[in-house]
Amino acid sequence: MWALLLPAAYLLGTFPSAGLVARRSGLDITEVGSGNPGASNVTRALGWRKGALVFALDALKGAVAAGVGLLVDGRPAGYALGAAAIIGHMYPITRRFQGGKGVATGAGVLVTLHPIVAAAAAALWFVLSKLTGKASVASIGAVVLVPIGMAVAGAPAWEYVATIAVCALILVRHADNIRRLVRREEHSLTTTP
């Protein structure tokens, strides 16, 4: 039954939050900063309020998808529909498969399925972003923490494996950020002029 909802969850993930928020300010978010259509790039270009709005909208996509899955058929469906929304955000068919990194949408899924782990990851993100000034460092740290947190919480093995797979995909989407970090050329999480 829930498998029939996978295309809908994917399409929900393609909703272009960053593009719409930036366009309302007369900006093509793919043409500024890192070019990534996500909350961090919107924050750099347009400030914290609009960045936070994009984060909330992207997180909502994941939370709704995972929540519907939970209601329809329990945790396996929550994971599957949540993952579909994350993939839709990362690889949207509506934008030639050029999407965001999946952190905010993944956070929405995590809040729905593992709220305590999500809170710990959010706290680490905040600390790392303040210490380094770089959203990518904070995001990578938070993503790495998630499977560790689930292991500590004693999550079932299948949930742990599924989460590692999604986290690995998010880290792959950060490959360019990692290369820029190594070269010390990574963008700071500050508003651009």
pLDDT score at 36 = 84
pTM of the full predicted structure?
Answer: 0.91
pLDDT, tens only, 107-155:
999 999 999 999 999 999 999 999 998 888 999 999 999 999 999 989 8
Domain ranges of the chain: 2-182
Residues 144, 97 contacting (CB under 8 angstroms): no
pLDDT score at 190 = 67
Decide if pLDDT at 106 tops 80.
Answer: yes
Give which of 59, 44, 48, 64 is closest to 101, Cα–Cα: 59
Give which of 136, 141, 101 is closest to 120, Cα–Cα: 141
Cα–Cα distance measured from residue 32 to residue 36, given in angstroms and rounded to the nearest whole number: 8
Decide if pLDDT at 191 tops 60.
Answer: no
